[in-house]
């Protein structure tokens, strides 16, 4: 497994292989890897000639009051885990390498960043779109892999790729969960014992909402009311949003009439967790 920290070295390594027709798969991460990340990497290894994993905690997707300074990291362990997957390359730049000292260009995807997490994390998706665009330009992958847990992020990246005519296929992979249903996330490590015991309510309410829809309940207000009631029964939970959006257009809906994404963000103490499922209405 090769590791590169410099953009030009990364390009110089990959370009001859791409010219020879080898297919590249990219898994962008911020490190502190868990089974969710590893499932993406293993799929990239399976579907690509060369699987590339990037580890970069992207500063421009964090707000001033968010957790950039304490975001968990363990590069040595990450490299060990990646090596076991069979990935060929790891790209581990720092912020100076990625942005220099006078970075003035950003990518902004409109409208679909104005809902769900957007109002609570201003600038976040601009930071995500910018860094992913940069990674695509550096690696030039044929396919790039993202998790459904970050469903809005996946939608933003898909829209960016379509609108900017990028030659990369976005693969969105199923959310990987703990045994009790909690979606795997690096931020789960922030939860104390009491918070962790209550956090599985997120998947419980999503499953209950899915059952309601499959039981022919299509009133979005009623569905969200039931979700709110269930989450509010957990004293450490503080709801940021509960939303139903059309899974294709990403428009907020009040009546389920097709595939719908049920998405939510809830804080347990200072830890903000997100989750979602897609239900065929």
* Residues forming the active site: 37
Distances (CA, A) of 72 to 34, 46, 75, 116: 12, 28, 10, 25
Q: Which residue has the tokens 């363990």?
A: 74
Give dist(CA 240, CA 94) in Å, integer: 32
CB burial of residue 111 (10 Å; 0-12, 13-18, 19+): exposed
Angle (CA) 3-11-129 rounded to 5° is 90
Regarding beta strands 271-279 and 260-268, do their DSSP bridges make them parallel or antiparallel, or are they unpaired?
antiparallel
Q: Phi, psi (5° rounding) for residue 248?
A: -100, -50
Contacts of 255 (CB under 8 A, 6+ apart): 218, 219, 220
Read off the tokens for 41: 């990497």
Q: Phi, psi (5° rounding) for residue 253?
A: -130, 155
Q: Which of 57, 85, 75, 77 is nearest to 1 (CA)?
A: 85
């Amino acid at each position: 497994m090769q590791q590169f920290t410099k953009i030009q070295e990364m390009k110089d390594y990959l370009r001859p292989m791409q010219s020879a027709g080898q297919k590249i798969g990219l898994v962008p991460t911020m490190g502190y890897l868990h089974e969710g990340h590893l499932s993406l990497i293993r799929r990239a290894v399976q579907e690509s000639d060369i699987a590339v994993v990037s580890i970069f905690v992207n500063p421009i997707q964090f707000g001033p009051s968010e957790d950039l300074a304490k975001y968990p990291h363990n590069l040595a362990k990450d490299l060990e885990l990646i090596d076991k997957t069979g990935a060929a390359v790891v790209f581990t730049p720092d912020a100076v390498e990625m942005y220099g000292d006078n970075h003035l260009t950003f990518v902004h995807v409109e409208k679909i960043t104005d809902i769900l997490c957007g109002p609570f994390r201003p600038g976040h998706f601009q930071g995500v779109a910018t860094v992913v665009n940069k990674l695509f330009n550096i690696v030039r992958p044929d396919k790039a892999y993202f998790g459904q847990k970050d469903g809005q992020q996946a939608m933003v990246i898909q829209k960016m790729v379509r609108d900017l005519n990028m030659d990369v296929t976005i693969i969105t992979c199923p959310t990987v969960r703990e045994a009790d249903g909690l979606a795997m996330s690096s931020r789960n490590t922030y939860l104390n014992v009491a918070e962790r015991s209550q956090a599985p309510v997120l998947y419980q309410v999503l499953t209950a909402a899915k059952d309601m829809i499959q039981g022919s309940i299509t009133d979005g207000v009623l569905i969200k009311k039931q979700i709110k009631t269930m989450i509010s029964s957990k004293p450490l939970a503080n709801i940021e949003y509960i939303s139903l959006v059309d899974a294709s257009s990403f428009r907020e809906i009040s009546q389920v009439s097709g595939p719908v994404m049920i998405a939510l963000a809830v804080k347990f103490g200072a830890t903000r967790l997100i989750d979602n499922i897609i239900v065929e209405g």
